[in-house]
Amino acid sequence: MLLRLLSPTQAIARRINTARFPVAVPFNTHNNLRFAHTMSSVQDLVENAIASNKIAIFSKSWCPYCARAKKLFQENFPEETPLVLELDLRDDGDAIQDYLEHKTGQSTVPNVFVNKKQVGGNDKTQAAFKSGELTRLVHL
């Protein structure tokens, strides 16, 4: 019924907007015409970040767990320069977070990857450091 009130373009956009990884079709959000991120561009960005960086941390700038994970690397692996993507500071941050959940089953940040392996959030990263697994991964 709702869709019948919309123009065909709006109806299609409304339906695509509900898709998990929308394709590049314009849709209205809060009266602003915006473009949905393509699944492949977000997927490529995340996969490239993981593949091209020894340490990749998907983070949010205000997140205390992220701060602890970033501090662990700064203090214990000062020679490394992790790639840190602050999802709250990016237009595509929500789409990246959705893709990470799809990929790893983890919906929270931080989401830490070392040498292409997902370590997990802060708790798992701290535990991996204590066990020696994190150091092993960093020095692969």
Ligand X SMILES: N[C@@H](CCC(=O)N[C@@H](CS)C(=O)NCC(=O)O)C(=O)O
Residues in contact with ligand X by the rule CB under 6 A: 60, 63-65, 108-110, 121-123
Q: Which is nearer to ligand X, 13 or 97 (CB)?
A: 97
Report angle CA 32, 20, 10 to the nearest 5 degrees: 40
CB of 4 to ligand X, least distance (A): 35
- Take residue 10 and report the two structure tokens written for it: 């709006």
φ and ψ at residue 55, rounded to 5 degrees: -125, 125
Which residue in the shown chain puts its C-beta closest to ligand X?
Answer: 121
In the complex, minimum distance from the CB of residue 109 to ligand X, in angstroms, rounded to a whole number: 4
Nearest distance, CB of residue 59 and ligand X, angstroms: 9
The DSSP H or E segment spanning 28 is strand 26-29
Dump the DSSP string for 66-122. HHHHHHHHHHH-TT---EEEEGGGSTTHHHHHHHHHHHHS--SS-EEEETTEEEESH
Identity of the residue, 13 or 119, whose beta carbon is nearer to ligand X in the bound complex = 119
By beta-carbon proximity to ligand X, the closer residue of 13 and 98 is: 98
CB of 108 or CB of 118, closer to ligand X: 108
